[in-house]
Structure formats: C-alpha cells, structure tokens
C-alpha cells in the first residue's frame, strides 16, 4: 500500500512558458514535486522560484510499477540521506565565503564546510522527491 497518491505513477508536466510536455515517472513512494525545471526553454532557472514559473501538473496519472524507463528520461526518486548530504556539502562549499546582503558567510558560524553541511543535514526528512536524469 502506497503512502503517496502518485507513487509509481507516470505524471505529465506542462511548461507554463513554452508549453512543452514531459512524462516523468515517479519511481518511488514519494510525493510529487510541485514543479520541475523545463529542459527546453530559457525560463528554466526562473522556474525554481514558485512565483515565476512552476510547471503544472496537467495529466491524469496512471500507476505503473513495472515501467521500464529509457536512457535520458527524467524520473522522480526519493531524496535519500546520501544525496541530501552531497547537496549540502556542495552548498556549504559554495556558500563558505559568500556574503549575502546583510548576512554573515557560513565561515563565520562554522569551523568547516563539513560542519556546516552536517548542520544543514539535520533538517533532512525522508519521503521528499528528487528528479534525476537517467
Ligand atoms: Zn519550457
């Protein structure tokens, strides 16, 4: 029994800017992402901002546990602790000496980027979606 309504479903996303359609398989029992970045049009980066151009869930989803994805397709997987830690390490490395307006860089609050990444990791929660390209 799945915990999430769209577990193992093939979901159709439509870009609100270029109208591009993409089928993405949810390969795990995780919630759907609210939006995904469009691989085709120039608005890809803006789509990270929910107000600027998220993709819409448009289609009826059909469950398919046996689906065989093709190379190059994007699929939804569970954001596991290892992936979360890798991303937190990347983020900590990038942000280590970066000084956002009116805020201190990470280097003023942590002994090392690793310590900062481990602190970020504390908010990891299982069951979150993550999109990978096969
Ligand atoms: Zn697009």
Same structural domain for residues 34 and 48? yes
- Cα of 45 to ligand 1 centre, how many Å? 10
Extract the tokens encoding 68.
């065989």
Which two structure tokens, joined as six digits, stand for 91? Answer: 């983020």
Model confidence over 98-125: pLDDT tens digits?
Answer: 988 888 899 999 999 999 999 999 999 8
> What are the φ/ψ torsions at residue 12 (nearest 5 degrees)?
-100, 125
First-to-final CA distance of the chain = 26
**Are 64 and 120 in the same domain?**
no
**Contact indicator for 73, 133 with CB cutoff of 8 Å:** yes
Task: Find the domain containing 31 and state its range.
Answer: 9-78
- Predicted confidence at residue 45, as pLDDT, reads 35
User: Is 73 found in the same domain as 42?
Assistant: yes
Alpha helices in the chain (DSSP H): 50-53, 81-95, 113-121
Residues 20 and 72 in one domain: yes
Distance 122 CA to ligand 1 centre (A): 34
Q: In terms of pLDDT, which residue wins out, 34 or 114?
A: 114
Query: 86 and 42 share a domain?
Result: no
- Cα(54) to ligand 1 centroid in Å equals 10
Domain count, the chain: 2
Ligand 1 center from residue 81 Cα (angstroms):
30
Mean of per-residue pLDDT scores for the chain: 80
Does residue 16 lie in a domain region?
A: yes
Centroid of ligand 1 to alpha carbon of 37 (angstroms)? 8
Distance 31 CA to ligand 1 centre (A): 22
Same domain, 65 and 43: yes
Q: How far apart are CA 2 and CA 32, in angstroms?
A: 13
**pLDDT at residue 57 in the model:** 45
Ligand 1 midpoint to CA 134 (Å)? 20
Predicted confidence band of residue 62 (pLDDT cuts 50, 70, 90):
low
pLDDT given for residue 111 in this prediction: 97
Same domain, 66 and 89: no
Determine the pLDDT at residue 116: 96
**pLDDT range class, residue 46, cuts 50, 70, 90:** very low
Looking at per-residue pLDDT, the higher value among 54 and 119 belongs to: 119
Residue 3 falls inside a structural domain: no
Query: To 5 degrees, how large is the angle CA 78–CA 27–CA 21?
Result: 105
| C-alpha of residue 22 to centroid of ligand 1, in Å | 10
Domain membership of residue 51 (yes or no) is yes
Residue 59 and residue 88 in one domain: no
CB 130 within 8 A of CB 104: no
Please, are residues 54 and 103 in contact by the beta-carbon 8 Å criterion? no
| Residues 72 and 101 both lie in one domain | no
Q: Is residue 25 part of a domain?
A: yes
- How close is the Cα of 24 to the center of ligand 1, in Å? 15
């Amino acid at each position: 029994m799945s915990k999430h309504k769209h577990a193992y479903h093939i979901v159709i996303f439509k870009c609100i800017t270029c109208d591009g359609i993409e089928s993405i398989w949810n390969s795990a029992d995780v919630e759907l992402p609210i939006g995904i970045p469009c691989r085709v049009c120039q608005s890809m980066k803006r789509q990270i901002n929910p107000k600027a151009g998220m993709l819409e869930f448009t289609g009826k989803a059909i469950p398919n546990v046996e689906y065989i994805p093709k190379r190059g397709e994007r699929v939804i997987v569970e954001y596991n602790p290892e992936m979360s830690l890798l991303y937190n390490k990347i983020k900590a490395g990038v942000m280590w000496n970066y000084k956002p307006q009116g805020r201190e860089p990470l280097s003023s609050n942590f002994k090392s980027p690793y310590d900062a990444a481990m602190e970020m990791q504390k908010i990891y929660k299982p069951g979150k979606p993550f999109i990978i390209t096969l």
